[in-house]
A and B are shown apart, each in its own frame.
Chain A
Amino acid sequence: MNCSELRDHFELYSLGLAEEPERSEIRAHLERGCEVCMAEVKRARELAAILASTAAPLAPSPKLRRRILAAAGAQSYGFGWAPALAAVAALSLCAAVYFSGREREFSQEARSLLAQARSQNIELTRLDEAFAILYGADTTVTSFGEKQPKPKGRVFVNPSQGVLLIASNLATAPEGQAYEMWLIPRGGKAPVPFGMFQARSDGTAMHVQLGALDVSAAAALAVTLEAAAGVSAPTSTPVIVAALQ
């Protein structure tokens, strides 16, 4: 097929919906660097992105922002969506979301399976990030709790990538609470929040906090037990303190 014969199929291709033989034909044109088809596919992708604007405007829960940042090992910055918008969105959602009983059953079953897959994907991503810190050329290792019954473990600090904490003998946090890590700067400055995590039921925990840090300005890393939503300054005695070299 020539380019003009494919003209009506670029949008479906860009949406991942082209069928044979057009899909293979477009793919072949792109693989041989056909500039006409490359431009058409680019235009179609742009159109596809803007078609998103035809979806009804609805806002997610304000908690989602914090959840995403926490899952990525980041803090929550700013205030997210304004509460008023969230309230309007919640009302809109009530009117917009529709389920049939059968669809709900299918949906719940699928959600359960996908949730497992998603959870594993996130865990794999976290492990990937942990390995990057673990094997970083500039990574330094500090042990903590060696002469104590609990908790104990190591922190791996990489100036350009972040911090990895691995601990054991850590009690499960009470309901509504979680562990929060802190960077303790030199010179008596205020502790800097360094992400939240939970201990597993076997008492182990792994926490990755991504982002560059100035190791020379850091005196220690500490962990306290805080409200699950996180706090901006520690409110309890540290359960872990690892003095950095």
Chain B
Amino acid sequence: MWLLPILLAVGAAERNADLVLRLQRRDPRALAELYDRYGRLAYALILRVVRDVGAAEDLVQETFLRVWTRSRAFDPQKGAIGPWLLAVARHRAIDYLRSADGRERNSVEFEETDHPSLFTGMEQRIPASDRARRVQAAVEKLSASQRQVIELAYFEGLTQTEMAERMGQPLGAVKAWVRAAWRNLRHQISTAEASA
């Protein structure tokens, strides 16, 4: 049941173009609509990263204002605004976490990886709701070590070297878990999609 907002959020590609065009025209109702579609998902993601309600709400605000001010760089026909917004949300949260932990911030790299032009040609390939369920199922099938490295990477923004330090494990072992985790995810998702 809780997947419903996600499914609604990532499954409406054809409405995205209209939404982006209205954002680009600075239509305030478009920002309200964008928030209604993605606000909850962005908040859940950010809170999972920073584990602080106040900071999470500040970062959600920052995320939406960033998308609002940068939407003119977005391709309304090909762009996938949901994945872009979630990338911005995650990057803001990880940046906050890194700063709070005294770790080196990598805002420059995030600038490189969350530019709106990079989020094109997504969502339309398959029904997004099915894909979300497949990813959920695939993550649940990972081994404990593999799931842990995925979570450390995705929700804590740790590099493999940082994961090895955090886990007290050899870097080689961590790299093997990371490699196996992504391979398993890719394999399980593609297998599920092929049989769907």
Contact = CB atoms under 8 A, between A and B. Distances in A.
B160 interface: yes
B41 A76 contact: no
Interface string B116-156: 00111111000010011001100100000000001001110
Contacts of B178: 8, 12
Interface stretch (A55-63, A141-149, A237-245): A55-63
Interface in A47-80: 47-61, 64-65, 67-69, 71-78, 80
Contacts, number: 213
Given A8-B182, A211-B27, A51 B135 contact: yes
Given A52-B41, A53-B132, A55-B47, A80 B36 contact: yes
Interface in B3-59: 3, 5-6, 10, 25-29, 31-33, 35-36, 39-45, 47-48, 50-58
A68 B35 contact: yes
Given A60-B39, A122-B65, A125-B65, A52 B185 contact: no
A34 interface: no
B47 A50 contact: no
Interface of B: 2-3, 5-6, 10, 25-29, 31-33, 35-36, 39-45, 47-48, 50-58, 60-62, 64-65, 68-69, 80, 82-83, 86-87, 89-91, 94, 96, 99-102, 106, 109-110, 112-113, 118-123, 128, 131-132, 135-136, 139, 150, 153-155, 157-161, 178-179, 182-183, 185-186, 189
A126 B25 CA distance: 16
Contact of B61 (A12, A48, A64): A64
A58 B100 CA distance: 23
A212 B139 CA distance: 46
Contact of B47 (A15, A58, A65, A118): A58
Interface of A: 8, 11-19, 41-42, 45-61, 64-65, 67-69, 71-78, 80-81, 93, 96-99, 106-107, 109-111, 113-115, 118, 121-122, 125, 128, 161-162, 210-212
A77 B155 CA distance: 32
Given A50-B131, A73-B28, A64 B44 contact: no
Given A8-B183, A72-B64, A49 B52 contact: no
A99 B51 contact: yes
B100 A77 contact: no
